[in-house]
Structure 1
């Protein structure tokens, strides 16, 4: 009888072991205790787990096969860094100063190779064209000419030096980046080639960070003048009922949102809403964040972190006939231009019991604190930039982003600019 139970017990024990481990080491003076590990799905970071420091070391055990981009985020200090997994152990040593990450040393082979390739790629994009021009003025048989030729040859190299069997993700990323996204591609790729790649690629497409830029390149291929036809052709090939099709559909909806292509966003958002199949988590997240900010929807409540100019604990605690919600940043040039115009009408708004609530996308505390001294309305910030919780909740893709709410916190208008806000209240 024992043998019947031994094998299942061994299998259960094996299943609890990590497929690979991510180890992060930091100096003793680095104060953060919590670190969050993310994986990637298209362009969306997916939280895997949170770990606490043990002797300034964080150990994440990942339980299954994963090849692709990963991210670690320290919420206490707002430090973030990216790395790759090739389903092998990852070890990273951080160099910090003043609780900020200043340098990252990758101690595993895959990330060391990827880091060097990325550095070489940057030089290729920025330096290679200049070296090629300079070479015209030096003969190949001179010492400098020979050195130039060697460096040009080195920077011109692609994925030839990568052993695909040893580094499958690195090979996948670099070969497809060179083919579809390089500034100096060997040849222009057609829409059919891009469709075929997206359709036939393995799961590393979702985890590589290549999907969104390749989709943008697809929409721009050949000076595209018929976006709807191109998108329909792509989705017909992929089949929107499949996980790949739904991920691409979700990415396209976000792309149309970012580029203010409202007609196309509405068309494909409607397509997503009307799907009768099982919806993936990725597409469900896109549907939910868009539903949160539809005209007539109740604007989700937000618990303030460190609010100024109010005693309210949350957005719903702010009582007013109307509210203007602004997502902004002290480093945003458009905010710099628009918010002073709102400031000139603030007393008129306040006299009509219209409250302004600014939710900042800032990271730097000093920059944020300095800027809000000029803004008498309610101000709050998580100081986490695009890692802020309200990015997904309120489907924020750019700053400034405005919403107008009624007394019951329902969305009654989504102005594009401050001029639209003032026109709505007849204050222009």
Structure 2
């Protein structure tokens, strides 16, 4: 028994060792303590762990093999930055000013290489066409002509110089970005090419951030005139009983939501609801988020952080015959146009015991405070932008988003625009 105990203890100790570590250093005047580490699944950030800094140093220990995009979020200051993992130690130094990240310095080999390639990719799209035109006016045997040619050749290169054995994720990302998402991709890639890629790709597809833009490209390839046929063809190949099939199904439901393609969203959300197989966490999140805001569902309660124009502690504490809940932002141009129209009818709504609750996806406290000074209704914000809890809980993909609730907080209408809100209350 003693030997078994020792072996068990050894296995437990081994399992607690990190596969790799992520070390982040910030200047002494950076005030945040808490940091949150995320991995990626499709387009969804997945929380891995939370750490408190010691002497402005954060060490995350990741216990598994992981190759793909990662993110660290500082909730107190709403700072965030991204990086990659190739299952090796990551080392990052932050430069900050007035508690905001001004620059991210990558000290490990993989992130330095990825950062340089990303910078080169941006130059390739923005600068290369101009350099190619300029080249015609200079002789190649001059110093400037030689330098110009060398820069054009460097920017024209793709992933040819990346060793896939040394940098598998970087090679995967850059190769497939160039093939499926570059400016020339639409000319050379068919829907069958994309289906084969999604079907046969390894697990880095989910962690690469490529999946959603590739799916959007798939829907647009060849001037797609029959979305249902294309989606059915893709899902038939992937099989919705598989983890990848369910991730793709989840992404497609969200895409149709974002682009206001309601009929397609309803069709594939219905398919997801009727699955009899084991549901992955990724698809379960999409199903839950949508179920929360179905017509007839009780709008999930929300505990206010620092509410204005109310003493209520939660959204459900606000008593009214009806409530209009608005998700908005001070930087949203559509909100800038629509909310004043609601303000013009505010007294009429209030007289009918209809309360407005604005939940802002702002990040800048001053901008938010200045804007709500003009809005007499209940206002609150987590000041975390799209890192707030709103997007997942209430399936919010755009601002403004409206919900109308009855006295029991049941959802009775989901207007698309402020005009629909006013028409519902016969104020238009």
TM (norm. structure 1) is: 0.99
**Does structure 2 conserve the Cα–Cα contact (< 8 Å) formed by 1:23 and 1:59?**
yes
Is residue 175 of structure 2 the alignment partner of residue 175 of structure 1?
Answer: yes
Matched residue of 2:95: which SS?
A: strand
Is residue 145 of structure 2 the alignment partner of residue 145 of structure 1?
Answer: yes
Distance 2:186 2:330 in 1: 41
Is residue 328 of structure 2 the alignment partner of residue 328 of structure 1?
Answer: yes
Deviations 1:251-281 (A, max 9, x none): 0000000000000000000000000000000
Is residue 359 of structure 2 the alignment partner of residue 359 of structure 1?
Answer: yes
Residues matched between the structures, number: 428
Given the superposition, is the C-alpha separation of residues 426 and 131 from structure 1 closer, same or farther in structure 2, using an over 3 Å criterion? same
Post-superposition offset of 1:2: 5.1
Aligned to 1:41: 41
Post-superposition offset of 1:54: 0.9
Is residue 223 of structure 2 the alignment partner of residue 223 of structure 1?
Answer: yes
Which consecutive aligned stretches of 4+ in structure 1 deviate over 6 angstroms post-superposition? none
Aligned to 1:377: 377
**Does structure 1 conserve the Cα–Cα contact (< 8 Å) formed by 2:186 and 2:221?**
no
**Does structure 2 conserve the Cα–Cα contact (< 8 Å) formed by 1:302 and 1:315?**
yes
**Does structure 2 conserve the Cα–Cα contact (< 8 Å) formed by 1:91 and 1:108?**
yes
Aligned to 2:404: 404
**Does structure 2 conserve the Cα–Cα contact (< 8 Å) formed by 1:69 and 1:207?**
yes
Post-superposition offset of 1:163: 1.1
- Within a 5 Å distance, the mapping from 1:98-177 to structure 2 comes to 98-177=98-177
**Does structure 1 conserve the Cα–Cα contact (< 8 Å) formed by 2:43 and 2:251?**
yes
Which ranges in structure 1 are unaligned for 5 or more consecutive residues?
A: none
TM (norm. structure 2) is: 0.99
Distance 2:418 2:45 in 1: 31
Distance 1:4 1:44 in 2: 41
Post-superposition offset of 1:186: 9.4
Post-superposition offset of 1:10: 2.3
Matched residue of 1:120: which SS?
A: helix
Aligned to 1:24: 24
- Within a 5 Å distance, the mapping from 1:190-209 to structure 2 comes to 190-209=190-209
Aligned-CA RMSD value = 1.0
Post-superposition offset of 1:187: 5.3
Which ranges in structure 2 are unaligned for 5 or more consecutive residues?
A: none
Distance 1:9 1:421 in 2: 63
Distance 1:274 1:281 in 2: 16
**Does structure 2 conserve the Cα–Cα contact (< 8 Å) formed by 1:35 and 1:74?**
yes
Aligned to 1:281: 281
Aligned to 2:233: 233
